[in-house]
Structure 1
Amino acid sequence: MLNNSAKYSRMIKAEALRLGFMACGISKADFLAEEAPRLEDWLNKNHHGEMAYMANHFDKRLDPRLLVDGAKSIVSLTLNYFTDQQQADINAPKISKYAFGTDYHTVIKEKLQELMAFINDNIGEVGGRCFVDSAPVMDKAWAQKAGLGWRGKNSNLISKYAGSFFFIAELIIDLDLDYDTPFAADHCGSCTRCIDACPTDAIVAPYTVDGSKCISYLTIELKNEIPTEFKGKMDNWMFGCDVCQDVCPWNRFATQHKEPAFEPAMELLNLKKEELIEMTDEVFKQVFKNSAIKRTKFNGLKRNIDFLKEL
């Protein structure tokens, strides 16, 4: 007979899959002892660039019990966003696949809230919080502890069954659950395709990304001008970058997502190079109103496009 922890864990995982999540794993809310020195070293080397928030709340980033009172379990969830659809104009500045559809923050937060409501309705009053890129949570570390994959040489979480084109989110709750076995194996082997392919040499060592050189950082997080040292190295990306994932052999297992909200907006995919170069604020608001691309704001995206145009 199942004890309550095992029964509740099975219920939560089943509901997560019903809601459309690709996978669900559970780990014990505890201090991330192995991550602490790595994070400190990464910050000391200024690999976070202008992402000052990465250095904030250092203790909370490593211990979820400081984020959620009485936290006992981390429910890690993944949601597939892979699509084989592409931008129509092969010469147009490129957009990362994850931004083709509706902003994932909105989509995932709704699913997390539904899962939290299910827990409260079917298990009892459980305290906790939903997280999707919204707080100092080391999502890849928790997902690995929950058995969902390993961190590749490009620092992305990789699943043996699905590759790496997926989002990671969490529920941190004050409920004891059954904990999954951490994913200990590393299946990258001697492969260095992601390191070799990175246009800006941002993967400075296996498993270490200098965020300040990453095209995703340069086109989204960086608020100042893109440094001239990256002229000719941006590989025509105007929002995000998929290079290290596109070349990863494990992504041969990536399958088309089944999330209607992630269906690419055809208006976005059909934008021609000239239309992007001449885009106005009005057009930006219309085309990208539901997209994660709005994070850059019009001036940010214009900066990126102009930087590519000057080559």
Structure 2
Amino acid sequence: MIAARLKQTLLDAGFALVGIAPAVSPLGLGRLQDWIQAGYAGEMSYIERRQHAYAHPENVLPQVASIVMAAWNYQPQGSPAGFHESRQRGRIAAYAQLPEDYHQWLKEKLQPAISILREHFPNDRTRTAIDTAPLLEREYASLAGLGWFGKNTMLIDRQQGSYLLLAGILTQTDLPPDAPHQTHHCGSCTRCLDICPTEAFPQPGVLDARKCISYLTIEQKGLPAEPLRKGIGPWLLGCDLCQDVCPWNTKRQKVWSRAQSTNEQQLTTVTDNETSEAALVEAENDPSLFLTISEEEFQQRFGKTPLERPGRSGMARNAAIVMGNIGTCDDWPAIEHGLADSSAVVRSACAWAAVELALREPLLKSIAETALRNRLPLEDNSLETSATYRELQAALDRLTIPPA
């Protein structure tokens, strides 16, 4: 049977879960529209622009009949998510610690199954979808029986947890679909909701991206609103908190202690890029480096990693916020250097971080005040238009004006 062969081929390639969904309109289309209407997409305007395309997979591949959905488990070893506070000062989400672009190597992992389809159906057209096409992959993964939507909106499987990268093959071949996943196993648990430091979940199963740390450190171009900055904590890029505490992931960690699965062994092989991996470790150990390296140095160290997406200025902004949250006196030179950065958003972030550092380290108060006063005249002094000027002035006010 062709469907069984396709599934086994993908499992042999290293995918943890495989299922087949019919190419129908997604059941969650209405939820997506409500989510957009509520403004939860924030600056991700491309979602609204492509809203009509999400209505049916035929907008991705004409005459599509079936969607083969596969999930790759990327959960790292360790607890939680490999984070050791004694060794690292910053955190990078687990998916972003993969030293290679997962889009490309997952696409390559799908190729053996595509070859089988072409072998049996020479006229068949296919298209892969790995979170870049206008396709609601989680909807089709659930429709293919791969899992349910947790209260943190993540797709969860009882054995594999939620650390899953989804990949799909759209095909014009009509394949027998699997039974959809119709049960939920979160029960009364609210750990994922309770741990979110920015309160990004207005209700179970709904994410306000504008408050999500992943959005704030990756998608947002400007400086996060002041009330959200402390919630970012040590996160340089992305966030895994709501996955760290999920019982279905902690249960899987116990399995790790007994034996490493074939899937994770293959993942290690696929992402064997020592240079990129060393750069990511360096970033977690010393986040302040993003405030001092040049664009050229950034590309050399991180150009082939997921950190390239927010770019040097985005990572420098994130680093300043992290230093404002957990930095020490040793980080002051990097913050001071960042106050003269070519990027206005980095200068703004460093102004905020300078105050946070000074409030924790009284010896820095006069030094920070002098640095801010020296920088202020160099900014646009039009208070109506310059966000950076206002950020610097607000920072100075916090240092010099006694609280009421």
Q: Which has the higher helix share?
A: 2
Query: How far did 1:25 drift?
Result: 0.5
Number of the residue aligned with 2:337: none
Q: Is the 8 A contact 2:128 2:169 kept in 1?
A: yes
What residue is the counterpart of 1:63 in the other structure?
56
Deviation at 1:155, TM superposition (A): 0.1
Displacement of 1:261? 2.6
Question: Per the alignment, do residues 283 and 115 of structure 1 end up closer, same or farther by CA in structure 2, a change over 3 Å counting?
Answer: farther
Contact 1:87–1:269 under 8 Å retained in 2: no
Aligned-partner SS, 1:77: strand
How far apart, in 2, do the equivalents of 1:105 and 1:123 lie?
26
1:97 CA drift (Å): 0.8
Once the two structures are TM-superposed, the CA of residue 276 in structure 1 deviates from its matched residue by 4.5
Alignment-derived partner of residue 93 in structure 2: 96
TM-score of the pair, normalised by structure 2: 0.71
Structure 2: distance between partners of 1:35 and 1:43: 12
**2:150 is the alignment partner of 1:152:** yes
* Alignment-derived partner of residue 243 in structure 2: 245
Bigger CA radius of gyration: 2
- 1:196 Cα deviation from its structure 2 partner: 0.2
Q: Specify which of 284, 299, 303 is matched with residue 285 of structure 1.
A: 299
Partner SS, residue 129 of structure 1: strand
- Aligned equivalents of 2:173 and 2:149: distance in 1? 27
SS of alignment partner, residue 55 of structure 1: helix
Partner of 1:164: 162
- Structure 1 residues not aligned, in runs of 5+: 1-6
Distance in 1, matches of 2:173 and 2:187, equals 37
One-letter amino acid of the structure 1 residue matched with residue 270 of structure 2? A
| Structure of greater relative contact order (alpha carbons < 8 Å, 6+ residues apart) | 1
Q: Structure 1, residues 151-172: CA drift from partner, whole Å, max 9, x if none?
A: 0000000010010111011111
Q: 2: CA distance between counterparts of 1:194 and 1:49?
A: 22
Residue 268 (structure 1) aligns with:
280
Instruction: Number of aligned residue pairs: give it.
Output: 304
Q: Distance in 1 between matches of 2:280 and 2:50?
A: 37
Q: What is the match of residue 16 of structure 1? A: 10
Kindly provide the amino acid, as one letter, of the partner of residue 252 in structure 2: F
User: Contact 1:28–1:72 (CA<8 Å) still a contact in 2?
Assistant: yes
Contact 1:92 1:276 in 2 (8 A): no
Preserved CA contact (<8 Å) 2:232 2:321? no
CA distance in 2, matches of 1:196, 1:225: 25
SS in structure 2 of the partner of residue 136 of structure 1: coil
In the TM superposition, residue 90 of structure 1 has moved relative to its aligned partner by 4.1
> Are 1:192 and 2:190 an aligned pair?
yes
> Which has the larger displacement, 182-191 or 286-295?
286-295
Contact 1:201 1:213 in 2 (8 A): yes
What is the CA deviation profile of residues 214-243 of structure 1, one whole-angstrom value per residue up to 9, with x for unaligned ones?
000011111122222212110210100000
TM alignment of 1:210-221, pairs within 5 A: 210-221=208-219
Gaps of 5+ in 2: 324-352, 357-404
